[in-house]
Chains A and B, each alone.
Chain A
Amino acid sequence: MRNKQKGTPVHTRKELLAPFKGWGLSVRVHTWKKELAQYILLGIPTIILAAYVLFTANEYFEFLQNNWLKQSIAFAAGLYGAFFIYARRFRFITTAAAIIILAYIGYEFSTNLFSGEFDGFKWAVKYQNFSVLFVLGWFAGYGLSRTRFFSIFWSIALLAVMIIVVGAISTGTSDDIVLMFAPILVYAFYIIYTSELIRNMSDHESAFALNMVKRMGGFALVIFMLLLALLAIFRTDFDVIEREWGAGANPKEGEGNNSTMTENRNGGTGLKNNMGLSGSNNKANKDSVLFVAKLDNFFQDGKTPNPLYFVYDYYSKFDTATQTFEVDSLRPYNDLFSPDVAKVPLFFTKQDSTVLVNGMSTKNRKIVSAEIYNHNLSVSDYVAPSTSFFLQPISVPEENKDFYKSAYRTKMLVSDLNSAYFVYNATDDPFLQNFQKQRFEILRTADLYNDVPKDFLDYYTFMPAGAEYDSISNLAKQIVQKADARTVVDKTIAIKDYFLAKDEDNLPTFKYSDNPGVPGIPSANKLTFFLFENKKGYCAYYAGATLFLLRSLGIPSRIATGFLTVDRSNKNPGWYWFYEDQAHAWVQVYFPGYGWLDFDTTVPSQDQQDAPQPDQTPPLTSQKAYLVANGKTIDIDTLKKQVTMSVKEFLYWDKRYKLSSPEMMTMDISIARVYSDTGNIPLHLLKPNDEVVAVSYSEVFKNIVANPTDSGKSILKKFPSPAPIDELKVMPKDSLTKDKKEPVGKTKPTNWTNVFWTVTGLLLAALLFLLFLPRLIFAYYHYKATSKQLAAQGKWKELAFNRYIAINYYLNQMGYHRANTTALQFAQQKVDKQFGTNYALFLNTFLKSKYSEQPLNNWDEKQIEAVYPEVKDKIKAGIPTKKRFVSWMNIYRLIGFYTKPRLK
Chain B
Amino acid sequence: MDNAINMEQSYHQLQVLQQNIQQVIRGKDNQIKYILTALLAKGHILLEDNPGTGKTVMAKTLAQSIGGKNARDTSVFKRVQFTPDLLPMDLLGAHIYDEDKKEFIFKKGPLFCNVLLADEINRASPKVQSALLECMAEHQITSGDVTYKLEDVFFTIATQNPVEMEGTYPLPAAQLDRFFIKIIFGYVDEDTELEIYNNYLGISRNLEQIQTVLNIEDVKFLQAESEKILIHEELVKAVRNIVAQTRQHAEIVLGASTRSGITFLKCLKAFALINGRDYVIEDDIALLIKPVLDHRLIYKNKEAKSRVLDAVLKVELDRLSRLNLAK
On whether the two chains bind one another, the answer is: yes
Q: Judge whether A617 is part of the interface by a CB distance below 8 angstroms.
A: no
Q: Does A823 lie within 8 Å of B282, measured CB to CB?
A: yes
Q: Does B286 lie within 8 Å of A852, measured CB to CB?
A: no
Task: Give the residues in chain A near B298, CB-CB below 8 Å.
Answer: 3
Main SS of chain B's interface residues? mixed
Between A and B, 13 residue pairs with Cβ closer than 8 Å are: A797-B326, A808-B321, A820-B310, A848-B277, A848-B281, A850-B323, A851-B232, A852-B279, A900-B318, A901-B315, A902-B315, A903-B245, A903-B311
Q: Provide the B206-223 mask, 1 if CB < 8 A to any CB of A, else 0.
A: 000000000000000000
Bound Cα distance A820, B312 (Å): 10
Indicate whether A822 sits within 8 Å of B286 (C-beta atoms), given known contacts A798-B326, A850-B325, A904-B311. Answer: yes
Q: Which of A774-797 contact B (CB under 8 A)?
A: 795, 797
Indicate whether A798 sits within 8 Å of B315 (C-beta atoms), given known contacts A823-B282, A851-B281, A853-B230. Answer: no
Q: Which listed segment binds A: B27-35, B112-120, B161-169, B249-257?
A: B249-257
Give the distance to chain A from B167, nearest Cβ to Cβ, in Å: 22
Task: Give the residues in chain A near B314, CB-CB below 8 Å.
Answer: 820, 901
Give the distance to chain B from A355, nearest Cβ to Cβ, in Å: 76
Q: Judge whether A818 is part of the interface by a CB distance below 8 angstroms.
A: yes
Closest to A902 in B: B315
Q: Which of A7, A798, A800, A823 contacts B321 (CB 8 A)?
A: A823
Indicate whether A821 sits within 8 Å of B300 (C-beta atoms), given known contacts A204-B251, A854-B279. Answer: no
Number of A-B contacts (CB under 8 A): 85
Indicate whether A825 sits within 8 Å of B318 (C-beta atoms), given known contacts A206-B250, A820-B310, A903-B249. Answer: no
Indicate whether A800 sits within 8 Å of B326 (C-beta atoms), given known contacts A2-B253, A900-B315. Answer: yes
Q: Provide the A177-216 mask, 1 if CB < 8 A to any CB of B, else 0.
A: 0000000000000000000000000001010000000000
Most-contacted residue by chain A among B230, B281, B300, B319 (CB, 10 A):
B281
Task: Give the residues in chain A near B312, CB-CB below 8 Å.
Answer: 903
Task: Give the residues in chain A near B315, CB-CB below 8 Å.
Answer: 900-903
Q: Which of A3-19 contact B (CB under 8 A)?
A: 3, 6-7
Q: Judge whether B324 is part of the interface by a CB distance below 8 angstroms.
A: yes
Q: Which 9 A-B pairs have the closest CB atoms?
A: A852-B279, A797-B326, A798-B326, A851-B232, A847-B281, A801-B326, A822-B286, A822-B283, A204-B250
Q: Does B283 lie within 8 Å of A3, measured CB to CB?
A: no
Bound Cα distance A232, B108 (Å): 92
Q: Which of B284-327 contact A (CB under 8 A)?
A: 286, 298, 300-301, 310-315, 317-319, 321, 323-327
Bound Cα distance A800, B286 (Å): 22
Q: Does A847 lie within 8 Å of B282, measured CB to CB?
A: yes
Q: Provide the A839-855 mask, 1 if CB < 8 A to any CB of B, else 0.
A: 00000000111111110
Give the distance to chain A from B150, nearest Cβ to Cβ, in Å: 33
Closest to A899 in B: B318
Bound Cα distance A602, B280 (Å): 107
Indicate whether A820 sits within 8 Å of B313 (C-beta atoms), given known contacts A206-B248, A851-B279. Answer: yes
Give the distance to chain A from B105, nearest Cβ to Cβ, in Å: 43
Give the distance to chain A from B178, nearest Cβ to Cβ, in Å: 20
Instruction: Give the B interface residue count (CB, 8 A).
Output: 37
Q: Judge whether A891 is part of the interface by a CB distance below 8 angstroms.
A: no
Q: Judge whether B235 is part of the interface by a CB distance below 8 angstroms.
A: yes
Give the distance to chain A from B304, nearest Cβ to Cβ, in Å: 10
Task: Give the residues in chain B near A818, CB-CB below 8 Å.
Answer: 321
Q: Judge whether B177 is part of the interface by a CB distance below 8 angstroms.
A: no
Q: Does A795 lie within 8 Å of B250, measured CB to CB?
A: no
Q: Judge whether B225 is part of the interface by a CB distance below 8 angstroms.
A: no
Task: Give the residues in chain A near B325, CB-CB below 8 Å.
Answer: 797, 801, 850-851
Closest to A808 in B: B321
Bound Cα distance A420, B122 (Å): 123
Bound Cα distance A904, B307 (Å): 10
Give the distance to chain A from B133, nearest Cβ to Cβ, in Å: 20
Q: Does B283 lie within 8 Å of A847, measured CB to CB?
A: yes
Q: Does B318 lie within 8 Å of A901, measured CB to CB?
A: yes
Give the distance to chain B from A804, nearest Cβ to Cβ, in Å: 9
Bound Cα distance A820, B314 (Å): 6
Q: Does A848 lie within 8 Å of B283, measured CB to CB?
A: no
Bound Cα distance A850, B235 (Å): 11
Bound Cα distance A375, B324 (Å): 81
Q: Judge whether A824 is part of the interface by a CB distance below 8 angstroms.
A: yes
Bound Cα distance A849, B313 (Å): 22
Bound Cα distance A800, B325 (Å): 11
Most-contacted residue by chain A among B235, B249, B312, B324 (CB, 10 A):
B324
Q: Which of A366-403 contact B (CB under 8 A)?
A: none
Bound Cα distance A795, B325 (Å): 12
Q: Judge whether B278 is part of the interface by a CB distance below 8 angstroms.
A: yes
Bound Cα distance A849, B279 (Å): 10
Q: Which of B230-261 contact A (CB under 8 A)?
A: 230-232, 234-235, 245, 248-251, 253
Task: Give the residues in chain A near B301, CB-CB below 8 Å.
Answer: 7
Give the distance to chain B from A439, nearest Cβ to Cβ, in Å: 97
Give the distance to chain B from A201, nearest Cβ to Cβ, in Å: 14
Bound Cα distance A818, B286 (Å): 13
Give the distance to chain B from A886, nearest Cβ to Cβ, in Å: 26
Bound Cα distance A821, B310 (Å): 10
Q: Which of A3, A204, A821, A901 contacts B286 (CB 8 A)?
A: A821
Most-contacted residue by chain A among B230, B250, B253, B280 (CB, 10 A):
B250
Closest to B250 in A: A204
Task: Give the residues in chain A near B300, CB-CB below 8 Å.
Answer: 3, 6
Q: Does B326 lie within 8 Å of A849, measured CB to CB?
A: yes
Bound Cα distance A2, B325 (Å): 43
Q: Does A852 lie within 8 Å of B278, measured CB to CB?
A: yes
Closest to B310 in A: A820
Task: Give the residues in chain B near A797, CB-CB below 8 Å.
Answer: 325-326
Give the distance to chain B from A897, nearest Cβ to Cβ, in Å: 10
Task: Give the residues in chain A near B283, CB-CB below 8 Å.
Answer: 822, 824-825, 847
Task: Give the residues in chain A near B281, CB-CB below 8 Å.
Answer: 824, 847-848, 850-851
Give the distance to chain A from B141, nearest Cβ to Cβ, in Å: 31
Task: Give the residues in chain A near B248, CB-CB below 8 Å.
Answer: 206
Q: Does A801 lie within 8 Å of B279, measured CB to CB?
A: no
Task: Give the residues in chain B near A7, CB-CB below 8 Å.
Answer: 301
Task: Give the residues in chain A near B231, CB-CB below 8 Å.
Answer: 851
Task: Give the residues in chain A near B313, CB-CB below 8 Å.
Answer: 820
Give the distance to chain A from B291, nearest Cβ to Cβ, in Å: 16
Bound Cα distance A850, B323 (Å): 9
Task: Give the residues in chain B near A795, CB-CB below 8 Å.
Answer: 326
Closest to A3 in B: B253
Bound Cα distance A808, B317 (Å): 14
Q: Provide the A1-42 mask, 1 if CB < 8 A to any CB of B, else 0.
A: 011001100000000000000000000000000000000000
Task: Give the residues in chain A near B278, CB-CB below 8 Å.
Answer: 852, 854
Bound Cα distance A818, B313 (Å): 13
Task: Give the residues in chain B near A801, CB-CB below 8 Å.
Answer: 324-326
Q: Provide the B141-182 mask, 1 if CB < 8 A to any CB of A, else 0.
A: 000000000000000000000000000000000000000000
Give the distance to chain A from B244, nearest Cβ to Cβ, in Å: 11
Closest to B317 in A: A822
Q: Which of B230, B234, B251, B324 contacts A852 (CB 8 A)?
A: B230
Task: Give the residues in chain B near A853, CB-CB below 8 Å.
Answer: 230, 279
Closest to B249 in A: A903
Bound Cα distance A903, B314 (Å): 9
Q: Which of A204, A851, A854 contacts B235 (CB 8 A)?
A: A851
Bound Cα distance A782, B173 (Å): 51
Bound Cα distance A426, B319 (Å): 100
Given contacts A801-B326, A900-B318, 16 further A-B contacts (CB under 8 A): A3-B298, A204-B250, A820-B310, A820-B314, A821-B286, A825-B286, A847-B281, A850-B281, A850-B325, A851-B232, A851-B280, A851-B281, A852-B232, A852-B278, A900-B319, A903-B249
Give the distance to chain A from B4, nearest Cβ to Cβ, in Å: 11
Bound Cα distance A820, B306 (Å): 14
Bound Cα distance A206, B244 (Å): 14
Closest to A847 in B: B281
Q: Which of A473-492 contact B (CB under 8 A)?
A: none
Give the distance to chain A from B11, nearest Cβ to Cβ, in Å: 15
Bound Cα distance A895, B263 (Å): 37
